[in-house]
């Protein structure tokens, strides 16, 4: 008897169905994996971009041709300070430790621009005499940030902590004032330089005006309100022809945007003094020089170019007269800053409300002995044993003024300001520092009879 054929149709249908399910699941897995890979890649890319901006701010800072670039830089720092500096217990411990005085009746000073030239020297001097010092600096790239990092390292060795942040960051400033009852603020953070204003004008407004106002807004709400000593500039005298320059002379003819922002700062200070009872002292610095100085200053880049055998440009006025400056050594400027802090009266407001008239002062801090740029070059030639290759050219119309000369009678009377370092002695100390810091090897450099302080 013949057997009947086996019915395989059901098995085939089941196999086809299982195969379809496997293909469907495989497709879903591939799609899901692709989406996950895309999201992970996007997240990694965003993280890399964020850290690139943080670690390489020079791509978004002073060398950028876009005049609005400072917004990127400031925003980055605000993100940093708000997300990182606002909380940790270890960070707060550093802030408190650095700002606590070590002497009886010592000051507790917030120094803005503490990694800068004048700021680092003042911070060191305050700390050495037993005052509490807390710094804040954004370490921008207007000039080589490694120099600022070097100053930061030196201050750290003396237990001065510098908060890395921007004075435009209101949240960060409020946090610092919540932690520390500062007695004084030494406000030295600023966008410096006369000529750079032609390349990046908005950076001066952002730092010298907006940053100053933001600081004052924070200080006015503090309890107690600290007294403020801040850096104006001899540049405010602008086109003034009366010499020596006195605090009573007119300052309504600025020759540069930098000068205009500093003059604006003086008017803003008057306003906050009048309305909120803030004690404010403006210091008009005259061409500060010395060790750890700014590379954009003539004495600094003259030294660099002369050591490298490069030519230097020496300016004369449009009518062929010599350009002269009242060069003031850093140690003398520091004495003036500390004298101003020591004689600053308390602010009279509380919680943003004025309770009585407050101190408002303006002082010149100079050397009272103008020296021509040609004489400066001659001194450097003798110290470096190098003959300068000079190109004598007309001073460009970029905001520089041909002559400065400080009358310091008022500062001498009020807090005993008396500069003691002439240009030859000061430059000798600078050259010794420069050679050591940059590792220049030359047996011919004259560094004898030097008693400079590190």
Does residue 292 lie within any of the structural domains?
yes
- Angle, CA 159 vertex, CA 451 and CA 208 arms, to 5°: 85
Domain at 306, CATH number: 3.40.50.720
CA distances from 139 to 49, 50, 175, 301, 328 (A): 20, 18, 20, 20, 25
Does residue 395 lie within any of the structural domains?
yes
Does residue 94 lie within any of the structural domains?
no
Report which of 381, 194, 398 is spatially closest to residue 305, judged by C-alpha positions.
Answer: 381
Mean pLDDT value of segment 281-305: 97
Question: Which residues pair with residue 187 across a beta bridge?
Answer: 112, 230
d(CA 317, CA 394): 6
Q: Determine the 3-state secondary structure of 21 from DSSP.
A: helix
What amino acid positions are annotated as catalytic residues?
Answer: 258
> What pLDDT shows up at residue 79?
44
Range(s) of the domain holding residue 264: 190-451
User: Residue 374 burial (CB < 10 Å; 0-12/13-18/19+)?
Assistant: middle
Does residue 87 lie within any of the structural domains?
no
Is the pLDDT reported for residue 16 higher than 50?
yes
Which pair of structure tokens corresponds to residue 223?
């309890």
- Check: CB of residue 381 under 8 Å from CB of residue 446: no
- 81-85, 176-180, 433-437: the lowest-pLDDT one: 81-85
> What pLDDT shows up at residue 398?
63
Does residue 40 lie within any of the structural domains?
no
Does residue 82 lie within any of the structural domains?
no
% of the chain beyond a pLDDT of 70: 78
66 compared with 327, residue with greater pLDDT: 327
> What pLDDT shows up at residue 33?
63
Query: Domain total for the chain?
Result: 1
Which pair of structure tokens corresponds to residue 268?
């803003």
Q: How confident is the model at residue 64 (pLDDT cuts 50, 70, 90)?
A: very low
- Check: CB of residue 347 under 8 Å from CB of residue 397: no
d(CA 9, CA 339): 104
Does residue 146 lie within any of the structural domains?
no
Where on the phi/psi map is residue 416: left (φ > 0), alpha (ψ -120 to 50), or beta?
A: left
Does residue 34 lie within any of the structural domains?
no
């Amino acid at each position: 008897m013949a057997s009947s054929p086996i019915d395989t149709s059901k098995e085939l249908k089941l196999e086809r169905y299982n195969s379809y399910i496997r293909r469907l699941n495989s497709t879903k897995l591939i799609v899901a994996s692709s989406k996950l890979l895309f999201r992970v890649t996007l997240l990694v890319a965003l993280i890399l971009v964020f850290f690139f901006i943080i670690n390489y701010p020079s791509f978004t800072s002073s060398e950028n041709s876009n005049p609005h670039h400072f917004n990127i830089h400031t925003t980055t720092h605000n993100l940093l300070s708000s997300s990182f500096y606002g909380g940790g217990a270890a960070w707060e411990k550093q802030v408190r430790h650095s700002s606590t005085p070590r002497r009886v009746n010592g000051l507790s000073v917030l120094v803005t621009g503490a990694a800068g030239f004048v700021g680092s020297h003042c911070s060191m001097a305050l700390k050495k005499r037993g005052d509490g010092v807390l710094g804040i600096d954004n370490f921008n790239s207007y000039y080589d940030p490694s120099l600022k990092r070097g100053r930061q390292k030196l201050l750290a060795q003396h237990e001065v902590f510098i908060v890395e942040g921007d004075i435009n960051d209101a949240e960060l400033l409020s946090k610092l004032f919540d932690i520390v009852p500062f007695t004084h603020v030494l406000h030295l953070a600023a966008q410096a330089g006369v000529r750079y204003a032609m390349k990046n004008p908005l950076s001066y407004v952002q730092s010298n005006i907006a940053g100053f106002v933001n600081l004052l807004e924070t200080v006015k709400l503090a309890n107690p309100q600290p007294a403020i000593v801040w850096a104006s500039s001899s540049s405010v005298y602008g086109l003034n022809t009366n010499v020596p320059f006195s605090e009573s002379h007119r300052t309504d003819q600025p020759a540069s945007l930098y000068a205009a922002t500093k003059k604006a700062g003086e008017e803003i200070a008057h306003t906050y003094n009048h309305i909120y009872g803030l004690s404010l002292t403006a210091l008009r610095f005259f061409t500060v020089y010395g060790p750890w100085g700014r590379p954009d200053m003539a004495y600094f880049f003259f030294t660099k170019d002369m050591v490298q055998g490069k030519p230097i440009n020496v300016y004369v006025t449009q009518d062929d007269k010599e350009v002269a400056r009242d060069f003031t050594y850093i140690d003398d400027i520091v004495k003036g800053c500390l004298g101003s802090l020591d004689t600053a009266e308390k602010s009279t407001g509380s919680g943003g409300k004025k309770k009585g008239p407050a101190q408002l002062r303006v002082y010149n801090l100079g050397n009272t002995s103008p020296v021509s740029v040609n004489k400066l070059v001659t001194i450097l030639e003798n110290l470096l044993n190098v003959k300068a290759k000079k190109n004598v050219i007309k001073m460009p119309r970029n905001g520089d003024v041909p002559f400065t000369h400080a009358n310091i009678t008022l500062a001498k009377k009020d807090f005993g300001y008396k500069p003691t370092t002439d240009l030859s002695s000061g430059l000798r100390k600078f050259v010794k520092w420069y050679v050591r810091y940059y590792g220049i090897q030359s047996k011919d450099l004259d560094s004898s009879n030097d008693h400079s302080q590190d």
